[in-house]
C-alpha cells in the first residue's frame, strides 16, 4: 500500500472513530468544561507558545510543528474551522517520541487532551478539535494531523 492510500485510509477510519467518540462525549460535558477563549488559557497568559514553532497554516489555532518536520500540503475537509483539514509528514523519530511531543506541547498551547487510542492523540481548543495519528516503522514515523470542528 502506498503512502497516499495509507493516509487516506487512516484519515477515514480516524474520522469515523473520533466522530462517534465526540458524539458520546458531547452528552457528558458539563458547564464547567465550557470552551475557554484563548486569551484566558494558561498558555496565552504565560506566552509559552514562544517555545514551540507553529505550523504556519494553523498558527491561529496554536498547532505546534514537530521539530525537524516539514508538513505537506493542506488537504481541506468540510469544517467550520478556518483552514480545517489534514496535514501529513514523515520523521525518522520513533512513534512514541512523536506522541510524547504532542502530549506535552498541546496542553502548553491551551489544548485539552481527550481520550484516544494508543497510537493517537485527540485534543480540543475552543471550537477546534485536533487529532494526531502516528504509524511507526523501522524507517521512522508517518504522522497525520487532522484539524476539524469540536463536537
Q: Which domain holds residue 142?
A: 3-26+54-149
Q: Per the domain annotation, does 118 fall within a domain?
A: yes
135 within domain boundaries: yes
**pLDDT score at 151:** 81
Residues 131-151 have a mean pLDDT of: 96
pLDDT of residue 145: 98
Q: Is residue 58 part of a domain?
A: yes
- Virtual torsion, Cα 75, 140, 149, 23, nearest 10 deg: 130
User: pLDDT tens digits, residue range 3-61?
Assistant: 444 444 444 544 433 443 333 333 333 333 333 333 333 333 334 445 899 999 999 99
Task: Give the bridge partners for 35, in sequence order.
Answer: none
Distance of alpha carbon 1 from alpha carbon 22, whole angstroms = 30
Q: Which tens digit of pLDDT belongs to each residue from 61-84?
A: 999 999 999 999 999 999 999 999
CATH of the domain at 125: 3.30.310
Rg (CA), the chain: 15
Domain count, the chain: 1
For residue 50, what pLDDT is reported?
Answer: 55
> Does residue 84 sit within a domain?
yes
Scanning 76-128, the segments in alpha helix (DSSP H) are 95-108
Contact assessment for residue 69 and residue 57, using Cβ atoms and an 8 Å cutoff: no
Rounded CA gap, 73 and 107, in Å? 25
Q: Which helix (H) or strand (E) holds 69?
A: none
88, 72 contact by CB (below 8 A):
yes
* Distance of alpha carbon 144 from alpha carbon 66, whole angstroms: 12
pTM given for the model: 0.70
**78 is a domain residue:** yes
In a domain, 47, yes or no: no
Domain assignment present for residue 17? The answer is yes
pLDDT for the residue 101: 98
Amino acid at each position: 500500500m502506498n503512502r497516499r492510500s495509507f493516509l487516506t485510509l487512516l484519515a477515514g477510519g480516524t474520522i469515523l472513530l473520533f466522530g462517534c467518540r465526540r458524539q458520546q462525549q458531547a452528552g457528558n460535558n458539563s458547564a464547567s468544561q465550557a470552551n475557554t477563549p484563548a486569551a484566558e488559557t494558561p498558555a496565552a497568559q504565560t506566552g509559552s507558545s514562544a517555545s514551540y514553532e507553529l505550523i504556519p497554516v494553523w498558527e491561529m489555532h496554536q498547532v505546534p510543528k514537530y521539530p525537524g518536520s516539514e508538513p505537506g500540503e493542506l488537504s481541506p475537509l468540510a469544517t467550520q474551522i478556518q483552514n480545517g483539514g489534514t496535514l501529513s509528514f514523515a520523521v525518522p523519530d520513533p512513534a512514541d517520541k512523536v506522541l510524547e511531543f504532542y502530549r506535552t506541547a498541546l496542553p502548553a498551547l491551551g489544548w485539552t487532551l481527550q481520550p484516544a487510542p494508543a497510537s493517537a492523540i485527540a485534543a480540543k481548543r475552543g471550537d477546534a478539535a485536533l487529532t494526531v495519528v502516528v504509524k511507526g516503522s523501522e524507517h521512522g514515523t508517518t504522522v497525520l494531523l487532522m484539524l476539524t470542528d469540536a463536537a
